[in-house]
């Protein structure tokens, strides 16, 4: 375990999230996420009665279909388990994300399309991580485009530099990948 030894403790809540990226036969990409929340103790629920230890409180699916430019062409959501009977009614609203591009302004666009009472907090929270999975899934395609097209390489540099420690402007990784920045 990479963290320090924890204090004595009792498990209460578990959230499992799995995400996968796929290349489709039609050239698009599917990014799928699945979220499951469970508790280690039984508790009363307004709509479902008693939820047993290990029984899913939340069980939700999300699929983004995106193109090479990270534009969402379709979004599908489904709720298998939720604390309230009304919760699955939010799932169809996520189709409104079609046409949104994953990139700068993505979080704002998600909030506009499925924010507040239009959507579901848990599905919305998954979208930020799914955006990263989409980027990682499509990276080899975009990297090849970069290698073949100097303009694409310049766009990648502009998009990536300054986003994290590894891509700091003075990072050896940036220098190795794109060369030293010319003084502006």
Instruction: Measure the CA dihedral 144/150/153/159, to 10°.
Output: -140
pTM of the model: 0.84
Q: Is residue 8 over pLDDT 80? A: yes
Please tell me whether residues 127 and 107 are part of one structural domain.
yes
Q: Which domain holds residue 176?
A: 149-184
The tens digit of pLDDT for each residue in 112-144 reads: 999 999 999 999 999 999 999 999 999 888 777
Average pLDDT over residues 31-54: 97
Q: Where are the beta strands (DSSP E) in 8-86?
A: 13-23, 29-39, 43-45, 49-51, 56-66, 72-81
Write the pLDDT tens digit of every residue in 147-172: 777 776 677 777 778 888 888 888 88
SS3 label, residue 48: coil
How many angstroms separate the CA atoms of 70 and 66, rounded?
A: 5
Q: Are residues 29 and 55 in the same domain?
A: yes
Residues 180 and 119 in one domain: no
Angle between helices 121-148 and 150-160 (to 10 degrees): 140
Same domain, 181 and 106: no
Long-range CB contacts (within 8 A, 24+) of 7-13: 10/40, 11/40, 12/39, 12/40, 12/41, 13/37, 13/38, 13/39, 13/40
pLDDT at 184: 44
Q: Based on the domain organization, do 29 and 111 belong to the same domain?
A: yes
178 pLDDT above the threshold of 50? yes
Q: Which residue is listed with tokens 């502009």?
A: 158
Total residue length of the chain:
184
Quote the pLDDT of residue 156.
72
């Amino acid at each position: 375990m990479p963290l320090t030894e924890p204090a004595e403790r009792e498990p209460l809540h578990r959230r499992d999230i799995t995400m996968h990226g796929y290349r489709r036969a039609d050239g698009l990409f599917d990014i799928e996420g699945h979220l499951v929340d469970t508790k280690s103790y039984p508790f009363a629920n307004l709509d479902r009665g008693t939820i047993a230890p290990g029984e899913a409180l939340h069980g939700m699916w999300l699929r983004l279909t995106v193109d090479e430019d990270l534009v969402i062409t379709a979004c599908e959501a489904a709720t298998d388990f939720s604390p309230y009977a009304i919760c699955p009614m939010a799932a169809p609203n996520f189709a409104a994300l079609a046409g949104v591009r994953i990139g700068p302004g993505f979080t704002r666009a998600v909030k506009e399309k499925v924010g507040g009472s239009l959507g579901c907090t848990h599905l919305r929270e998954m979208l930020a991580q799914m955006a990263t999975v989409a980027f990682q899934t499509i990276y080899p395609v975009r990297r090849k485009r970069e290698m073949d097209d100097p303009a694409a390489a310049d766009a990648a540099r502009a998009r990536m530099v300054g986003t994290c420690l590894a891509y700091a402007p003075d990072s050896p990784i940036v220098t190795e990948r794109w060369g030293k920045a010319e003084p502006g």
